[in-house]
A and B are shown apart, each in its own frame.
Chain A
Amino acid sequence: MKVRLLAAAAMVAGAFALPAHAQVEVQWWHSMGGALGEALNGLADQFNAEQKEYKVVTSYKGSYPESMTAAIAAFRAGQAPHILQVFEVGTATMMSARGAVKPVYQLMKETGEPFDPKAYLPTVTGYYSDTKGNMLSLPFNSSTALFYIDRNKFKAAGLPPVAPKTWKELIATAEKLKAAGQDCVYTTGWPSWVHIENFSAWHNVPIGTKQNGMGGLDARFTINSPTHVKHVQMLSDMAKKGLFTYAGRTNQADAKFQSGECAMATISAGALGGTIKAGKTDWQLNMLPYHDDVKGAPQNSIIGGASLWVMSGRKAEEYKGVARFFTFLSRPEVQMEWHTKTGYVPITLAAYELTKKSGFYDKNPGRDMAVLQLTNKAPTANSKGLRFGNFVQGRTIIEEELEAAFAGKKAAKAALDDAVKRGNELLRQFEAANK
């Protein structure tokens, strides 16, 4: 009897309490673990503290592919979150999922939130917009590939601590370092992202037809061009001579550089935090090396990282909360905090200017290198980004073929020809599935 009375009382109390704080919840699924996750939760807490109408609830769903899989399963069961953080290679899949996602430009228009796509960095906007320039997802954490050198190693080999600018110079430096007894001279993270995707943009050569796939589903890969073949052949030759140590398909190279094992590395701008924390190197951030015989190089690099997609099928008032939160995330001071805390690039020009004014870059030289490289020149059709269907598999194929080349099992030309052939089959399959 007593229990029932209590329950009734609780219900009455609940009925009265509800309208008072009818907070609308916004679910945000993400893949930021560790320190990055803390920074992300900090953003949500700040938003929740600022206003009382909406409450952003974050949940960590594992790695990028894992949270995407979780969201797809949730969508199929009718339980999708409002906001989903999707990595850049999943962009085409999300974009083709008409009916499953709500484009950001449309969300902002419907909810009447002020929104100006021009406020964002052009290389960032390009990656997440359709051909008409409509922004489909909100850029969130963006990085790019940078060239790190450890000046201690240079000094130990009697070299001036200056980073080589071109690949030719890099090889010359690598040979000297090797001769001086440096075991691991150069390594790289994310082989496809750095040596195919960013390489293509940086040298203004296409990765695929149809503006790197942005112009339609019938795109084909073009990564077996002479420029690509030459570059991959050069890396294979370097590997053979011991001038290039392969580290793996993801960020394994970060540790190799941070621990002081390797003298030079092309890894993500996001690896800087870990480099500083490890404190074992006299690191210096530089722009990616380029081939000076390629016309127009260096162009600009492209981003990696993730953006926020809005899933469809939710109530209008909940979308209002999502839009409000997106406006909050785009605020310069919020962006500056995210940028300086995590090492990801600020996604709006205003945030970049604000960070510059704050004197952060003077105190932390090199921290603006990613932005400088991304905005090195106005992006062309080749350097705006890329959008290929099934690219999770596509990237795996490219990496497999690169590994075959680096291991000397295949010539660079054969490996890239096979990558194109296998990749195109995936694209055709995606085209057929998304007609």
Chain B
Amino acid sequence: MEKRVVFRSAWLPFVLVAPQLAITVVFFFWPASQAIWYSFQLQDAFGLRSQFVGLQNFYTLFKDPNYLLSFRTTAVFSVAVAGIGIALSLLLAVMADRVVRGAMAYKTLLIWPYAVAAAVAGVLYAFMFAPSIGIVTFMLRQFGVHWNWVIDGNQAMLLVIMAAVWNQISYNFLFFLAGLQSIPKSLIEAAAIDGAGPGRRFWSIIFPLLSPTAFFLLVVNVVYAFFGTFGIIDAITQGGPAQSTTILVYKVYHDGVKAADLGGSSAQSVILMAIVIALTVVQFRYIERRVQY
């Protein structure tokens, strides 16, 4: 079954993988090892003086209750973004798959938001929901909702989740739609003839067949929520108010780039790296088993 290519030459396979390896080493392993090295050091902003401090940067972090709080914030944010993002796009994909008239228009409109960069999406939402001039704020006021996420942490969280989900929905939608279209129609028709209703058809046939796609999207969305949403947060809340939206990666950026604390920031990125590695392992080990390819 397995496809195998046998190279006669001893060096050709190495040459062929070399570019990819070089890219991986230069852009992944090298920076990662630098981060690990910096995480054991205390440095001034200009790199004039640095000293080896062992695990002190990590110790400082875990002693800080606000850093620990940031884990919870990240968990809430990631679960919400990945969960809502996947559920909503699945719903939209199923709907779009059924539509007969103007299907192209719906699909195009749904894919559109993906062309918007995260930072631009952030600014867009920040404007629409701006506490004093936002158009949505104005409408909410008509319904008696007091909307001021600049001071209300829960509203701020809701807003960044909305923006992050909106920005990612198209991507999920595309994959689900492709997945749906590759399901043989005969299977669904057979089930329908046997008397299965639309709900039953979805949960017993369509969803299991979509599970590889859903699993792939779960991994991608979690990584997105962890790293890709940083631009949205920076554009809308900058982690505020009172740290309600400071997710781990935003804190890495704030401490490292804005505040020039390389040691602390590197220690945080090492921790973040460990979390993402652990999460990916868990996903592949336990969730993948239940996925039917």
**A-to-B contact residues, CB < 8 Å:** 65, 68-69, 72, 75-76, 93, 96-100, 184, 239, 245-249, 252, 255-256, 259, 261, 390, 392-393, 396, 399-401, 403-404, 406-407, 409, 422, 425, 429, 432-435
Q: How far does the alpha carbon of A409 sit from the alpha carbon of B241 in the complex, in Å?
A: 11
Which residue of B has the minimal Cβ distance to A399? B240
Do the beta carbons of B132 and A255 come within 8 Å of each other?
yes
Known: A400-B241, A400-B242. 20 other contacts (CB 8 A): A69-B258, A75-B47, A76-B47, A97-B48, A99-B48, A239-B151, A246-B148, A246-B150, A246-B241, A247-B150, A256-B132, A393-B254, A393-B259, A396-B239, A406-B151, A407-B152, A422-B66, A425-B60, A433-B44, A433-B263
Do the beta carbons of B260 and A68 come within 8 Å of each other?
yes
Q: Which of B240-264 contact A (CB under 8 A)?
A: 240-243, 254-255, 257-261, 263-264
**Distance between A282 CB and nearest chain B CB, rounded to angstroms:** 20
Return the contact of A76 from the options B46, B133, B255 (Cβ within 8 A). B46
Which residue of A has the minimal Cβ distance to B47? A76
**Distance between A239 CB and nearest chain B CB, rounded to angstroms:** 8
**Distance between B231 CB and nearest chain A CB, rounded to angstroms:** 15
Number of CB contacts from chain A to chain B under 8 A: 99
**B-to-A contact residues, CB < 8 Å:** 42-49, 51, 53, 60, 64, 66, 131-133, 148, 150-153, 238-243, 254-255, 257-261, 263-264
**Selected A-B contacts with CB under 8 Å, 14 pairs:** A69-B258, A76-B46, A97-B48, A98-B48, A100-B46, A247-B131, A259-B132, A393-B259, A400-B240, A403-B241, A425-B60, A433-B42, A433-B51, A434-B44
Do the beta carbons of A69 and B257 come within 8 Å of each other?
yes
Given contacts A100-B48, A255-B132, A432-B42, contact A403 B242 (CB under 8 A): yes
Given contacts A393-B261, A400-B242, contact A72 B60 (CB under 8 A): no
Which residue of A has the minimal Cβ distance to B255? A393
Which residue of B has the minimal Cβ distance to A311? B46
**Distance between A312 CB and nearest chain B CB, rounded to angstroms:** 10
Q: How far does the alpha carbon of A99 sit from the alpha carbon of B255 in the complex, in Å?
A: 23
Could you tell me the dominant secondary structure of chain A's interface residues?
A: helix
Q: How far does the alpha carbon of A65 sit from the alpha carbon of B44 in the complex, in Å?
A: 16
Contacts of A400 in B (CB 8 A): 66, 240-243
Contacts of A393 in B (CB 8 A): 254-255, 259, 261
Given contacts A246-B151, A247-B150, contact A65 B48 (CB under 8 A): no
Do the beta carbons of A93 and B49 come within 8 Å of each other?
no
Q: How far does the alpha carbon of A194 sit from the alpha carbon of B44 in the complex, in Å?
A: 28
Q: How far does the alpha carbon of A285 sit from the alpha carbon of B257 in the complex, in Å?
A: 36
Given contacts A97-B45, A247-B150, contact A65 B258 (CB under 8 A): yes
Do the beta carbons of B46 and A429 come within 8 Å of each other?
no
Contacts of A100 in B (CB 8 A): 46, 48
Do the beta carbons of A392 and B258 come within 8 Å of each other?
yes
Q: How far does the alpha carbon of A256 sit from the alpha carbon of B134 in the complex, in Å?
A: 12
Do the beta carbons of B132 and A403 come within 8 Å of each other?
no
Q: How far does the alpha carbon of A346 sit from the alpha carbon of B153 in the complex, in Å?
A: 40
Return the contact of B132 from the options A97, A261, A401 (Cβ within 8 A). A261
Contacts of B148 in A (CB 8 A): 245-246
Return the contact of A249 from the options B132, B133, B238, B263 (Cβ within 8 A). B238
Contacts of B242 in A (CB 8 A): 400-401, 403-404, 407, 409
Do the beta carbons of B238 and A433 come within 8 Å of each other?
no
Return the contact of B46 from the options A72, A407, A425 (Cβ within 8 A). A72
Do the beta carbons of B260 and A72 come within 8 Å of each other?
yes
Q: How far does the alpha carbon of A422 sit from the alpha carbon of B241 in the complex, in Å?
A: 17
Q: How far does the alpha carbon of A249 sit from the alpha carbon of B131 in the complex, in Å?
A: 14
Return the contact of A425 from the options B53, B64, B239 (Cβ within 8 A). B64
Closest 8 CB pairs of A and B: A403-B242, A403-B241, A404-B242, A246-B151, A393-B259, A392-B259, A100-B46, A97-B46
**Distance between A86 CB and nearest chain B CB, rounded to angstroms:** 11
Do the beta carbons of B46 and A433 come within 8 Å of each other?
no
Contacts of B254 in A (CB 8 A): 393, 396
Contacts of B46 in A (CB 8 A): 72, 75-76, 97, 99-100
Do the beta carbons of A433 and B260 come within 8 Å of each other?
no
Q: How far does the alpha carbon of A404 sit from the alpha carbon of B246 in the complex, in Å?
A: 14
Contacts of B257 in A (CB 8 A): 65, 69
Contacts of A425 in B (CB 8 A): 60, 64
**Distance between B218 CB and nearest chain A CB, rounded to angstroms:** 32
Contacts of B152 in A (CB 8 A): 407
Contacts of B261 in A (CB 8 A): 390, 393, 429
